[in-house]
Amino acid sequence: MTPKMKRYSAFAIAREALRDHTGWERAWKKAQPKKRYDVVIVGAGGHGLATAYYLGKNFGITNVAIIEKGWLGGGNTGRNTTIIRSNYLQDPSAAIYEKARSLYETMSQDLNYNVMFSPRGVMMLAQTEHEVRGYQRTAHANALQGVTTEWISPARVKELVPIINLHGPRYPVLGALWQARAGSARHDAVAWGYARACSAMGMDIIQKCEVTGVMQENGRVTGVNTTKGDIACDKLGMVVAGHSSDLAAKAGFRLPIESVPLQALVSEPIKPCMDVVVMANTVHGYMSQSDKGEMVIGGGTDGHNGYTQRGSFHHVEETVRALVETFPMIGRLKMLRQWGGIVDVTGDRSPILSKTPVEGIFINAGWGTGGFKAIPGSGWGFAELMAKGHSPLTDEFGLNRFAEGRFIDESVAAGVAH
């Protein structure tokens, strides 16, 4: 029987302070793979860990292994800019992202782990007349979807973000789509909180364990070959953003996605000057301020396919140049660090949560540049799909939509913004 997880609390901090912090447990146990599991999840990032957590919490499936070729949360979960929003245009997108946003609001309490969710608000600037019409349309769509957003004036933009320049010579600010309950969270804490909860349910988290092959019999999955030996399973979940095509190829099927690098950077820390998230799609840049005072800055994907996780000088130039006109003050800042992640991009810029041609294999991929915000909603829906073979949150995101022409076109919302 799995020992009960000790709860974190103010009383626990005080107790440990009195005994020199000698009583803290490991957040999750170090596990070696068993010969067989009911479910194997490949990928110990946010989406994979969330899937495992909701398999246990919602469906009582706890004989689960989450295997990771690197370290837990070391992929895109640890390499993003933490924006959380649900103001998408298409109904299926709004549904899964709003589910995620609502779960983020109670995640710290649900997991007994502070994920530092900050509903500071996300603002998407309209800097052309085309964007004005587009965002006003989205605001109307959100109202029908039950997602609370509003169109705000330039004066209101300035009130919320005093450091902004409304009258840029090329791209003046004409208004914005504002979602007050959107915001950000601590990316590492999200992964760690889910990992701790999964471990407490008796699940095995196995790091430094790469999948080298997928075992099948009569068109059905029977397990995976790994660098730590063969592991048998009844169901296999592939949740490996950036490397989804590689893993699918090992199982014998192809995915309609491409992998591209996405870069971001942070400035040196400065005093608090901006307490909302601002996205400027016309110039293609976005910015927020972290709790440490750094300005978190990002832009678009690289213009080529690749698997690099490094930054590049040309991206710094392009992204900062895009934002300096709207935020002149950042021209005086020094860059502190820069990084890259690998994102899976589909043709309609919407994710894939689906059964596959191999019975028992399920795929969660194609989140493009906006995967972090979806983690809890993705895990909730994907767990239901794996447990029951169907989920209202994932029905529209099946692989068959590409063959049937049922695209969920979020090219503006997910392909440009984040």
What does the pLDDT average to over 349-377? Answer: 95
- Please give the Cα distance from 317 to 303 (Å, whole number): 15
DSSP state of 242: T
Structure token digits, residue 245: 């095509």
Task: List pLDDT tens digits, range 38-71.
Answer: 999 999 999 999 999 999 999 999 999 999 999 9
| Residue from 330, 316, 318, 317 nearest 287 by CA | 330
**Given this model, what pLDDT does residue 418 score?**
44
Grouping H, G, I as helix, E, B as strand and the rest as coil, residue 371 is coil
Q: Residue 59 and residue 84: Cα distance in Å, rounded? A: 26
pLDDT, mean over the chain: 93
The per-residue pLDDT for 413 is 52
pLDDT value, residue 226 = 97
Residue 1 confidence (pLDDT) above 50 = no
Q: Identify the band that residue 412 occupies on the pLDDT scale cut at 50, 70 and 90.
A: low
Which domains, and CATH codes, for the chain? 34-86+88-112+187-257+348-404 (3.50.50.60), 122-182+259-346 (3.30.9.10)
Answer yes or no: is pLDDT of 298 > 80: yes
What pLDDT score does 3 carry?
54
The pLDDT > 70 percentage for the chain reads 98
**The pTM is what?**
0.94
| pLDDT-based confidence at residue 302 (cuts at 50, 70, 90) | confident
pLDDT tens column, 170-208: 889 999 999 999 999 999 999 999 999 999 999 999 999
Give bridge partners of residue 225 from the DSSP assignment: 213, 230
- Could you read off the pLDDT of 137-156 as tens digits, one per residue? 999 999 999 999 999 999 99
pLDDT at position 133: 94
- Taking the C-alpha atoms of residue 172 and residue 153, their distance in angstroms, rounded to an integer, is 12
* Separation between Cα atoms, residue 195 and residue 45, nearest integer Å: 9
Confidence of residue 36 (pLDDT cuts 50, 70, 90): very high
Higher pLDDT among residues 314 and 29, named by residue: 29
pLDDT in tens, 81-109: 999 999 999 999 999 999 999 999 999 99
Instruction: Name the DSSP class of 102.
Output: H
Calculate mean pLDDT across residues 289-297: 94
Share of the chain above pLDDT 90, in %: 81
d(CA 87, CA 84): 10
Joined tokens for residue 344:
């899976």
